[in-house]
Structure 1
Amino acid sequence: MCIGSLDLRETKKLQARARRNAKQFLRGSKSIASCSSQPDGDEPLSTSTFLEDDEAIDEDKEPKPDDYDYNPRSSQMQRKLTNTALVTQKFGVSLQAMAAIASSVLHDVGLVSESDTSLVIDKNKIGRERHRTMQELQKQSSDIDNDHLIGLYFDERRDKTLSRESVNNKYYQRTIVEEHYSLVKEPVSRYIGHVTPASGSSLAIAESIYNYITAEVPGGFNYILVLGCDGTAVNTGVHKGVLRCLELKTGKTVQ
Protein backbone atom coordinates (compact mmCIF):
# COMPACT_ATOMS: atom_id res chain seq x y z
CA MET A 1 0.00 0.00 0.00
CA CYS A 2 1.05 3.60 -0.52
CA ILE A 3 -0.21 6.81 1.10
CA GLY A 4 -0.87 9.50 -1.49
CA SER A 5 -1.72 13.16 -1.28
CA LEU A 6 -5.09 14.51 -0.11
CA ASP A 7 -7.93 14.08 -2.60
CA LEU A 8 -9.43 17.58 -2.51
CA ARG A 9 -12.44 16.78 -4.69
CA GLU A 10 -13.44 13.75 -2.61
CA THR A 11 -12.80 15.69 0.63
CA LYS A 12 -15.18 18.45 -0.45
CA LYS A 13 -17.83 15.86 -1.25
CA LEU A 14 -17.48 14.26 2.18
CA GLN A 15 -17.60 17.64 3.92
CA ALA A 16 -20.74 18.66 2.01
CA ARG A 17 -22.36 15.32 2.87
CA ALA A 18 -21.52 15.79 6.55
CA ARG A 19 -23.07 19.29 6.51
CA ARG A 20 -26.25 17.96 4.91
CA ASN A 21 -26.52 15.16 7.47
CA ALA A 22 -25.98 17.66 10.30
CA LYS A 23 -28.68 19.98 8.96
CA GLN A 24 -31.11 17.08 8.55
CA PHE A 25 -30.41 15.87 12.08
CA LEU A 26 -30.88 19.35 13.59
CA ARG A 27 -34.05 19.89 11.56
CA GLY A 28 -35.55 16.66 12.89
CA SER A 29 -34.53 17.48 16.47
CA LYS A 30 -36.13 20.93 16.27
CA SER A 31 -39.38 19.57 14.83
CA ILE A 32 -39.67 16.93 17.55
CA ALA A 33 -38.85 19.41 20.32
CA SER A 34 -41.31 22.01 18.99
CA CYS A 35 -44.14 19.52 18.63
CA SER A 36 -43.58 18.04 22.09
CA SER A 37 -43.47 21.46 23.78
CA GLN A 38 -46.56 22.76 21.97
CA PRO A 39 -49.65 22.94 24.27
CA ASP A 40 -52.84 21.10 23.36
CA GLY A 41 -55.20 22.95 21.06
CA ASP A 42 -52.55 25.10 19.38
CA GLU A 43 -52.13 25.10 15.64
CA PRO A 44 -49.34 22.89 14.33
CA LEU A 45 -46.18 24.64 13.25
CA SER A 46 -45.78 25.16 9.55
CA THR A 47 -42.92 23.91 7.45
CA SER A 48 -41.74 27.46 6.84
CA THR A 49 -40.93 27.78 10.54
CA PHE A 50 -38.41 24.97 10.32
CA LEU A 51 -37.01 26.32 7.08
CA GLU A 52 -36.46 29.72 8.64
CA ASP A 53 -34.72 28.16 11.62
CA ASP A 54 -32.67 25.96 9.33
CA GLU A 55 -31.52 28.91 7.26
CA ALA A 56 -29.89 30.32 10.37
CA ILE A 57 -27.40 27.43 10.40
CA ASP A 58 -24.00 28.50 9.21
CA GLU A 59 -23.26 26.78 5.92
CA ASP A 60 -19.50 26.80 6.49
CA LYS A 61 -19.65 25.46 10.04
CA GLU A 62 -18.45 21.87 10.34
CA PRO A 63 -20.59 19.54 12.50
CA LYS A 64 -19.03 18.76 15.84
CA PRO A 65 -19.36 15.54 17.82
CA ASP A 66 -20.97 17.52 20.65
CA ASP A 67 -23.98 18.22 18.42
CA TYR A 68 -24.79 14.51 18.39
CA ASP A 69 -24.02 13.66 22.03
CA TYR A 70 -21.66 11.03 20.63
CA ASN A 71 -19.07 9.30 22.73
CA PRO A 72 -16.87 7.07 20.55
CA ARG A 73 -15.50 5.15 23.53
CA SER A 74 -18.89 4.25 24.94
CA SER A 75 -20.51 3.19 21.66
CA GLN A 76 -18.24 0.47 20.35
CA MET A 77 -19.27 -3.09 19.61
CA GLN A 78 -17.08 -5.30 21.82
CA ARG A 79 -18.71 -8.69 21.21
CA LYS A 80 -17.43 -11.42 18.93
CA LEU A 81 -19.38 -11.95 15.72
CA THR A 82 -18.11 -15.34 14.62
CA ASN A 83 -21.37 -16.59 13.09
CA THR A 84 -21.97 -13.30 11.30
CA ALA A 85 -18.47 -13.46 9.80
CA LEU A 86 -19.05 -17.04 8.63
CA VAL A 87 -22.36 -16.13 6.97
CA THR A 88 -20.71 -13.15 5.27
CA GLN A 89 -18.01 -15.39 3.84
CA LYS A 90 -20.40 -18.21 2.89
CA PHE A 91 -22.86 -16.12 0.87
CA GLY A 92 -20.36 -13.57 -0.47
CA VAL A 93 -22.08 -10.56 1.12
CA SER A 94 -20.10 -7.33 1.19
CA LEU A 95 -18.92 -5.97 4.52
CA GLN A 96 -21.03 -2.81 4.22
CA ALA A 97 -24.18 -4.73 3.32
CA MET A 98 -23.72 -7.23 6.15
CA ALA A 99 -23.12 -4.46 8.69
CA ALA A 100 -26.29 -2.68 7.59
CA ILE A 101 -28.36 -5.89 7.70
CA ALA A 102 -27.09 -6.92 11.14
CA SER A 103 -27.61 -3.43 12.61
CA SER A 104 -31.13 -3.20 11.20
CA VAL A 105 -32.05 -6.58 12.74
CA LEU A 106 -30.77 -5.44 16.13
CA HIS A 107 -32.79 -2.24 15.74
CA ASP A 108 -35.97 -4.17 14.89
CA VAL A 109 -35.68 -6.41 17.95
CA GLY A 110 -35.16 -3.38 20.19
CA LEU A 111 -31.48 -3.81 21.06
CA VAL A 112 -30.46 -0.62 19.25
CA SER A 113 -32.13 2.73 19.72
CA GLU A 114 -31.31 6.41 19.30
CA SER A 115 -30.27 6.62 22.94
CA ASP A 116 -28.26 3.39 22.95
CA THR A 117 -26.07 2.69 19.90
CA SER A 118 -23.50 0.48 21.62
CA LEU A 119 -24.54 -2.57 19.55
CA VAL A 120 -24.43 -0.89 16.14
CA ILE A 121 -22.14 -2.91 13.85
CA ASP A 122 -19.63 -1.23 11.57
CA LYS A 123 -18.30 -2.74 8.34
CA ASN A 124 -14.74 -2.62 9.71
CA LYS A 125 -15.91 -4.73 12.66
CA ILE A 126 -17.24 -7.35 10.22
CA GLY A 127 -13.95 -7.32 8.33
CA ARG A 128 -11.87 -7.83 11.48
CA GLU A 129 -14.15 -10.63 12.68
CA ARG A 130 -13.97 -12.40 9.33
CA HIS A 131 -10.19 -12.21 9.30
CA ARG A 132 -9.98 -13.48 12.89
CA THR A 133 -12.42 -16.33 12.23
CA MET A 134 -10.54 -17.50 9.14
CA GLN A 135 -7.26 -17.52 11.06
CA GLU A 136 -8.79 -19.55 13.90
CA LEU A 137 -10.34 -22.08 11.50
CA GLN A 138 -7.07 -22.45 9.63
CA LYS A 139 -5.21 -23.05 12.90
CA GLN A 140 -7.78 -25.63 14.01
CA SER A 141 -7.51 -27.39 10.66
CA SER A 142 -3.72 -27.57 10.86
CA ASP A 143 -3.84 -28.81 14.46
CA ILE A 144 -6.45 -31.53 13.92
CA ASP A 145 -5.66 -32.77 10.43
CA ASN A 146 -2.28 -34.52 10.60
CA ASP A 147 -3.06 -37.43 8.26
CA HIS A 148 -1.44 -37.78 4.87
CA LEU A 149 -3.19 -36.59 1.74
CA ILE A 150 -4.86 -39.62 0.13
CA GLY A 151 -7.68 -38.06 -1.90
CA LEU A 152 -7.49 -34.64 -3.59
CA TYR A 153 -10.54 -33.03 -5.18
CA PHE A 154 -10.50 -29.71 -7.02
CA ASP A 155 -12.97 -27.48 -8.83
CA GLU A 156 -12.76 -24.18 -10.68
CA ARG A 157 -14.64 -20.93 -10.23
CA ARG A 158 -14.18 -17.53 -11.81
CA ASP A 159 -14.15 -14.75 -9.23
CA LYS A 160 -13.85 -10.98 -9.43
CA THR A 161 -10.61 -9.97 -7.74
CA LEU A 162 -9.24 -6.54 -6.83
CA SER A 163 -5.78 -5.83 -8.20
CA ARG A 164 -3.38 -2.89 -8.49
CA GLU A 165 -1.96 -1.79 -11.81
CA SER A 166 0.87 0.65 -12.35
CA VAL A 167 0.37 3.24 -15.11
CA ASN A 168 2.97 6.00 -15.48
CA ASN A 169 4.26 5.41 -11.94
CA LYS A 170 0.74 5.71 -10.55
CA TYR A 171 -1.19 2.81 -9.05
CA TYR A 172 -4.84 2.23 -9.92
CA GLN A 173 -7.28 -0.30 -8.49
CA ARG A 174 -8.87 -2.62 -11.01
CA THR A 175 -11.34 -5.48 -10.82
CA ILE A 176 -10.23 -8.48 -12.84
CA VAL A 177 -11.69 -11.95 -13.36
CA GLU A 178 -9.44 -14.80 -12.21
CA GLU A 179 -9.80 -18.57 -12.22
CA HIS A 180 -9.51 -19.94 -8.68
CA TYR A 181 -9.18 -23.69 -8.13
CA SER A 182 -10.36 -24.78 -4.70
CA LEU A 183 -8.59 -27.84 -3.24
CA VAL A 184 -10.41 -30.20 -0.87
CA LYS A 185 -9.05 -33.19 1.03
CA GLU A 186 -11.11 -36.36 0.99
CA PRO A 187 -12.60 -38.42 2.60
CA VAL A 188 -12.75 -35.88 5.46
CA SER A 189 -13.97 -33.07 3.13
CA ARG A 190 -11.50 -30.56 4.53
CA TYR A 191 -10.59 -27.39 2.66
CA ILE A 192 -6.88 -27.19 1.84
CA GLY A 193 -6.56 -23.94 -0.07
CA HIS A 194 -6.92 -22.46 -3.53
CA VAL A 195 -4.59 -21.74 -6.44
CA THR A 196 -4.66 -19.26 -9.30
CA PRO A 197 -3.11 -20.74 -12.44
CA ALA A 198 -1.26 -18.48 -14.85
CA SER A 199 -3.66 -19.48 -17.65
CA GLY A 200 -6.59 -21.76 -18.32
CA SER A 201 -4.51 -24.50 -19.93
CA SER A 202 -4.39 -27.93 -18.34
CA LEU A 203 -0.60 -27.76 -17.97
CA ALA A 204 -0.76 -24.45 -16.06
CA ILE A 205 -3.55 -25.75 -13.81
CA ALA A 206 -1.68 -28.97 -13.01
CA GLU A 207 1.53 -27.01 -12.37
CA SER A 208 -0.15 -24.66 -9.89
CA ILE A 209 -1.89 -27.52 -8.03
CA TYR A 210 1.29 -29.60 -7.86
CA ASN A 211 3.42 -26.70 -6.59
CA TYR A 212 0.88 -25.76 -3.91
CA ILE A 213 0.38 -29.31 -2.59
CA THR A 214 4.12 -29.99 -2.58
CA ALA A 215 4.87 -26.78 -0.67
CA GLU A 216 1.92 -26.59 1.75
CA VAL A 217 0.79 -30.16 2.51
CA PRO A 218 3.06 -32.50 4.53
CA GLY A 219 3.98 -35.47 2.38
CA GLY A 220 2.74 -33.81 -0.80
CA PHE A 221 1.68 -36.33 -3.43
CA ASN A 222 3.62 -39.22 -1.89
CA TYR A 223 0.49 -40.89 -0.47
CA ILE A 224 -2.06 -39.73 -3.05
CA LEU A 225 -4.44 -42.46 -4.29
CA VAL A 226 -7.48 -40.58 -5.62
CA LEU A 227 -7.95 -37.43 -7.72
CA GLY A 228 -11.42 -35.97 -8.16
CA CYS A 229 -12.88 -33.24 -10.38
CA ASP A 230 -15.73 -32.57 -12.80
CA GLY A 231 -15.84 -34.11 -16.26
CA THR A 232 -14.74 -31.19 -18.41
CA ALA A 233 -12.28 -31.93 -21.19
CA VAL A 234 -9.55 -29.75 -19.71
CA ASN A 235 -9.57 -31.99 -16.62
CA THR A 236 -10.16 -35.45 -18.07
CA GLY A 237 -8.31 -35.30 -21.39
CA VAL A 238 -6.55 -38.59 -22.08
CA HIS A 239 -3.23 -37.08 -23.17
CA LYS A 240 -3.15 -33.50 -21.83
CA GLY A 241 -5.86 -33.27 -19.17
CA VAL A 242 -5.13 -32.01 -15.67
CA LEU A 243 -5.42 -35.51 -14.23
CA ARG A 244 -2.98 -36.92 -16.77
CA CYS A 245 -0.53 -34.05 -16.22
CA LEU A 246 -0.60 -34.67 -12.45
CA GLU A 247 0.05 -38.38 -13.01
CA LEU A 248 3.06 -37.56 -15.19
CA LYS A 249 4.44 -35.08 -12.63
CA THR A 250 4.02 -37.46 -9.69
CA GLY A 251 5.15 -40.53 -11.62
CA LYS A 252 2.30 -42.70 -10.37
CA THR A 253 -1.13 -43.79 -11.56
CA VAL A 254 -4.08 -42.79 -9.35
CA GLN A 255 -7.78 -43.55 -9.30
Structure 2
Amino acid sequence: MSKKFNRQRWFWGVFFLASAIILVLSQLGVFSYHVSVFTLVLTIILVAVLLNSLRYMMIPGAVFALAFLAILYAHPLGIASLVPWTILGAALLLSIGLSIIINPRRFWERRWHHHHRNFNHHHGNWDDWESTETIDDAHVNLDLSMSNSIRYIHSEALASANIRVSTGGAKIYFDDVTLANETATINLDVSLSGVELYLPRTWQVRVNLDNNMSHIDTLGQPTTAGPVIDLTGRISLSGLTINYL
Protein backbone atom coordinates (compact mmCIF):
# COMPACT_ATOMS: atom_id res chain seq x y z
CA MET A 1 0.00 0.00 0.00
CA SER A 2 1.50 3.36 -1.05
CA LYS A 3 2.24 6.25 1.26
CA LYS A 4 0.03 8.40 -0.94
CA PHE A 5 -2.92 6.09 -0.38
CA ASN A 6 -2.25 6.04 3.38
CA ARG A 7 -2.31 9.85 3.49
CA GLN A 8 -5.59 9.93 1.56
CA ARG A 9 -7.10 7.28 3.81
CA TRP A 10 -6.16 9.21 6.95
CA PHE A 11 -7.38 12.51 5.52
CA TRP A 12 -10.81 11.20 4.53
CA GLY A 13 -11.10 9.14 7.69
CA VAL A 14 -10.47 12.19 9.89
CA PHE A 15 -12.71 14.32 7.65
CA PHE A 16 -15.73 12.06 8.10
CA LEU A 17 -15.05 11.55 11.82
CA ALA A 18 -14.99 15.33 12.28
CA SER A 19 -18.15 15.59 10.19
CA ALA A 20 -19.90 13.10 12.47
CA ILE A 21 -18.90 15.13 15.54
CA ILE A 22 -20.14 18.36 13.94
CA LEU A 23 -23.43 16.67 13.04
CA VAL A 24 -24.04 15.52 16.62
CA LEU A 25 -22.99 18.87 18.18
CA SER A 26 -25.23 20.82 15.81
CA GLN A 27 -28.25 18.77 16.88
CA LEU A 28 -27.36 19.36 20.55
CA GLY A 29 -27.59 23.11 19.97
CA VAL A 30 -23.88 23.78 20.57
CA PHE A 31 -23.66 26.04 17.52
CA SER A 32 -25.49 29.36 17.44
CA TYR A 33 -26.76 28.74 13.91
CA HIS A 34 -28.90 25.61 13.72
CA VAL A 35 -29.11 23.63 10.51
CA SER A 36 -31.13 20.57 9.63
CA VAL A 37 -29.56 17.12 9.40
CA PHE A 38 -30.17 17.09 5.64
CA THR A 39 -28.46 20.46 5.18
CA LEU A 40 -25.47 19.43 7.27
CA VAL A 41 -25.05 16.11 5.45
CA LEU A 42 -25.28 17.89 2.09
CA THR A 43 -22.73 20.43 3.35
CA ILE A 44 -20.30 17.64 4.22
CA ILE A 45 -20.69 16.12 0.77
CA LEU A 46 -20.21 19.49 -0.96
CA VAL A 47 -17.10 20.25 1.10
CA ALA A 48 -15.69 16.85 0.11
CA VAL A 49 -16.38 17.63 -3.55
CA LEU A 50 -14.79 21.07 -3.14
CA LEU A 51 -11.61 19.68 -1.59
CA ASN A 52 -11.26 16.99 -4.24
CA SER A 53 -11.92 19.48 -7.03
CA LEU A 54 -9.37 21.99 -5.72
CA ARG A 55 -6.75 19.31 -5.33
CA TYR A 56 -7.08 18.12 -8.92
CA MET A 57 -7.95 21.45 -10.52
CA MET A 58 -11.50 20.45 -11.39
CA ILE A 59 -12.67 24.03 -11.90
CA PRO A 60 -16.41 23.35 -12.52
CA GLY A 61 -16.62 21.01 -9.54
CA ALA A 62 -15.03 23.53 -7.18
CA VAL A 63 -17.07 26.52 -8.38
CA PHE A 64 -20.40 24.72 -8.30
CA ALA A 65 -19.68 23.20 -4.88
CA LEU A 66 -19.19 26.75 -3.58
CA ALA A 67 -22.33 27.89 -5.41
CA PHE A 68 -24.48 25.21 -3.80
CA LEU A 69 -22.97 25.99 -0.39
CA ALA A 70 -23.91 29.64 -0.97
CA ILE A 71 -27.49 28.59 -1.78
CA LEU A 72 -27.68 26.42 1.36
CA TYR A 73 -26.40 29.22 3.61
CA ALA A 74 -27.89 32.21 1.83
CA HIS A 75 -29.51 33.60 5.00
CA PRO A 76 -26.44 33.65 7.30
CA LEU A 77 -24.35 34.94 4.40
CA GLY A 78 -26.79 37.79 3.80
CA ILE A 79 -27.49 36.88 0.17
CA ALA A 80 -31.03 35.57 0.57
CA SER A 81 -32.21 38.16 -1.98
CA LEU A 82 -30.33 36.28 -4.70
CA VAL A 83 -32.40 33.55 -6.30
CA PRO A 84 -30.63 30.19 -6.79
CA TRP A 85 -30.58 30.56 -10.57
CA THR A 86 -28.67 33.83 -10.22
CA ILE A 87 -26.00 32.11 -8.14
CA LEU A 88 -25.84 29.15 -10.54
CA GLY A 89 -25.62 31.47 -13.54
CA ALA A 90 -22.74 33.32 -11.91
CA ALA A 91 -21.10 29.97 -11.13
CA LEU A 92 -21.37 28.96 -14.78
CA LEU A 93 -19.70 32.18 -15.95
CA LEU A 94 -17.01 31.87 -13.26
CA SER A 95 -16.22 28.27 -14.16
CA ILE A 96 -15.86 29.17 -17.84
CA GLY A 97 -13.69 32.20 -17.09
CA LEU A 98 -11.47 30.40 -14.60
CA SER A 99 -11.08 27.40 -16.91
CA ILE A 100 -9.86 29.73 -19.65
CA ILE A 101 -7.49 31.65 -17.34
CA ILE A 102 -6.09 28.73 -15.35
CA ASN A 103 -6.20 26.21 -18.21
CA PRO A 104 -6.48 22.99 -16.16
CA ARG A 105 -5.46 20.85 -19.12
CA ARG A 106 -2.03 22.51 -19.14
CA PHE A 107 -1.85 21.94 -15.39
CA TRP A 108 -2.53 18.23 -15.88
CA GLU A 109 0.10 18.01 -18.59
CA ARG A 110 2.69 19.56 -16.25
CA ARG A 111 1.65 17.17 -13.48
CA TRP A 112 1.89 14.19 -15.85
CA HIS A 113 5.38 15.09 -17.08
CA HIS A 114 6.56 15.76 -13.52
CA HIS A 115 5.22 12.42 -12.34
CA HIS A 116 6.62 10.63 -15.39
CA ARG A 117 10.10 11.89 -14.52
CA ASN A 118 9.70 10.77 -10.92
CA PHE A 119 8.43 7.37 -12.05
CA ASN A 120 11.44 6.80 -14.28
CA HIS A 121 13.81 7.95 -11.57
CA HIS A 122 12.36 6.04 -8.64
CA HIS A 123 10.67 3.11 -10.47
CA GLY A 124 7.55 3.87 -8.49
CA ASN A 125 3.94 2.97 -9.05
CA TRP A 126 1.48 4.99 -11.11
CA ASP A 127 -1.13 4.45 -8.39
CA ASP A 128 1.03 6.57 -6.06
CA TRP A 129 -0.22 9.60 -7.99
CA GLU A 130 -3.89 8.87 -8.54
CA SER A 131 -6.34 6.39 -10.00
CA THR A 132 -5.42 5.92 -13.67
CA GLU A 133 -6.53 3.10 -15.93
CA THR A 134 -6.63 2.20 -19.61
CA ILE A 135 -9.71 0.35 -20.85
CA ASP A 136 -10.01 -1.60 -24.09
CA ASP A 137 -13.55 -2.81 -24.62
CA ALA A 138 -16.42 -2.41 -27.07
CA HIS A 139 -18.86 -1.82 -24.21
CA VAL A 140 -17.28 0.35 -21.53
CA ASN A 141 -18.68 0.39 -17.99
CA LEU A 142 -17.18 2.78 -15.43
CA ASP A 143 -18.29 3.21 -11.83
CA LEU A 144 -16.25 5.88 -10.05
CA SER A 145 -17.07 7.29 -6.62
CA MET A 146 -15.32 9.28 -3.90
CA SER A 147 -12.17 9.59 -5.97
CA ASN A 148 -10.40 11.54 -8.67
CA SER A 149 -9.77 9.38 -11.68
CA ILE A 150 -8.41 9.39 -15.20
CA ARG A 151 -9.60 6.78 -17.67
CA TYR A 152 -8.17 6.26 -21.15
CA ILE A 153 -10.54 4.44 -23.48
CA HIS A 154 -8.83 2.48 -26.27
CA SER A 155 -11.19 0.59 -28.51
CA GLU A 156 -11.25 -0.37 -32.17
CA ALA A 157 -15.00 -1.02 -32.16
CA LEU A 158 -16.67 1.05 -29.43
CA ALA A 159 -20.44 0.58 -29.33
CA SER A 160 -21.43 2.11 -25.99
CA ALA A 161 -20.15 3.52 -22.72
CA ASN A 162 -21.91 3.70 -19.37
CA ILE A 163 -20.24 6.10 -16.97
CA ARG A 164 -21.27 6.63 -13.37
CA VAL A 165 -19.45 9.23 -11.27
CA SER A 166 -20.51 10.08 -7.73
CA THR A 167 -18.92 12.63 -5.38
CA GLY A 168 -15.63 12.90 -7.20
CA GLY A 169 -13.87 14.02 -10.32
CA ALA A 170 -13.17 12.20 -13.55
CA LYS A 171 -11.31 12.85 -16.78
CA ILE A 172 -12.22 10.36 -19.50
CA TYR A 173 -10.36 10.28 -22.80
CA PHE A 174 -11.98 8.91 -25.96
CA ASP A 175 -9.40 10.34 -28.37
CA ASP A 176 -7.95 6.91 -29.24
CA VAL A 177 -11.23 5.25 -30.14
CA THR A 178 -12.74 3.85 -33.35
CA LEU A 179 -16.49 3.33 -33.38
CA ALA A 180 -18.09 0.02 -34.31
CA ASN A 181 -20.68 1.87 -36.39
CA GLU A 182 -21.39 5.45 -37.39
CA THR A 183 -23.27 5.97 -34.14
CA ALA A 184 -22.61 5.17 -30.49
CA THR A 185 -24.10 6.05 -27.12
CA ILE A 186 -22.36 7.46 -24.05
CA ASN A 187 -24.67 7.23 -21.06
CA LEU A 188 -23.84 9.34 -18.00
CA ASP A 189 -25.01 9.14 -14.41
CA VAL A 190 -23.20 11.97 -12.62
CA SER A 191 -23.97 13.40 -9.19
CA LEU A 192 -22.05 15.89 -7.06
CA SER A 193 -19.05 15.60 -9.33
CA GLY A 194 -16.95 17.28 -11.97
CA VAL A 195 -16.53 15.29 -15.18
CA GLU A 196 -14.47 16.11 -18.26
CA LEU A 197 -14.91 14.16 -21.50
CA TYR A 198 -12.19 14.37 -24.15
CA LEU A 199 -13.62 13.51 -27.56
CA PRO A 200 -12.29 13.52 -31.13
CA ARG A 201 -13.18 16.63 -33.11
CA THR A 202 -14.79 14.47 -35.79
CA TRP A 203 -17.52 13.27 -33.42
CA GLN A 204 -20.89 14.98 -33.70
CA VAL A 205 -22.36 14.96 -30.20
CA ARG A 206 -26.11 15.08 -29.64
CA VAL A 207 -26.71 16.03 -26.00
CA ASN A 208 -29.87 14.58 -24.48
CA LEU A 209 -29.20 14.78 -20.76
CA ASP A 210 -31.56 15.19 -17.81
CA ASN A 211 -29.96 18.27 -16.22
CA ASN A 212 -30.69 18.80 -12.53
CA MET A 213 -29.06 22.05 -11.31
CA SER A 214 -25.88 21.32 -13.25
CA HIS A 215 -23.99 22.97 -16.07
CA ILE A 216 -22.49 21.76 -19.32
CA ASP A 217 -19.52 23.49 -20.90
CA THR A 218 -17.95 22.87 -24.32
CA LEU A 219 -14.33 23.60 -25.19
CA GLY A 220 -13.16 23.44 -28.79
CA GLN A 221 -15.17 23.03 -31.99
CA PRO A 222 -16.11 19.75 -33.69
CA THR A 223 -15.90 19.32 -37.44
CA THR A 224 -19.08 19.55 -39.48
CA ALA A 225 -19.17 15.88 -40.44
CA GLY A 226 -18.39 12.59 -38.75
CA PRO A 227 -19.81 9.81 -36.56
CA VAL A 228 -22.74 10.70 -34.29
CA ILE A 229 -22.54 10.24 -30.52
CA ASP A 230 -25.69 10.30 -28.40
CA LEU A 231 -24.85 11.68 -24.95
CA THR A 232 -27.68 10.50 -22.69
CA GLY A 233 -28.41 10.02 -18.98
CA ARG A 234 -28.51 12.55 -16.18
CA ILE A 235 -26.26 14.96 -14.31
CA SER A 236 -27.22 16.26 -10.90
CA LEU A 237 -25.51 19.04 -8.90
CA SER A 238 -22.46 18.62 -11.12
CA GLY A 239 -20.33 20.13 -13.85
CA LEU A 240 -19.69 18.51 -17.23
CA THR A 241 -17.08 19.73 -19.69
CA ILE A 242 -16.90 18.36 -23.25
CA ASN A 243 -13.44 18.89 -24.74
CA TYR A 244 -12.92 18.39 -28.48
CA LEU A 245 -9.38 17.28 -29.33
Structure of greater Rg: 1
Answer whether TM exceeds 0.5 for this pair.
Answer: no
Interval containing the TM-score (normalised by the shorter chain): under 0.3
TM-score, with structure 2 as normaliser: 0.22
Greater fraction strand = 2
More contact order relative to length (CA 8 Å, sep ≥ 6) = 2
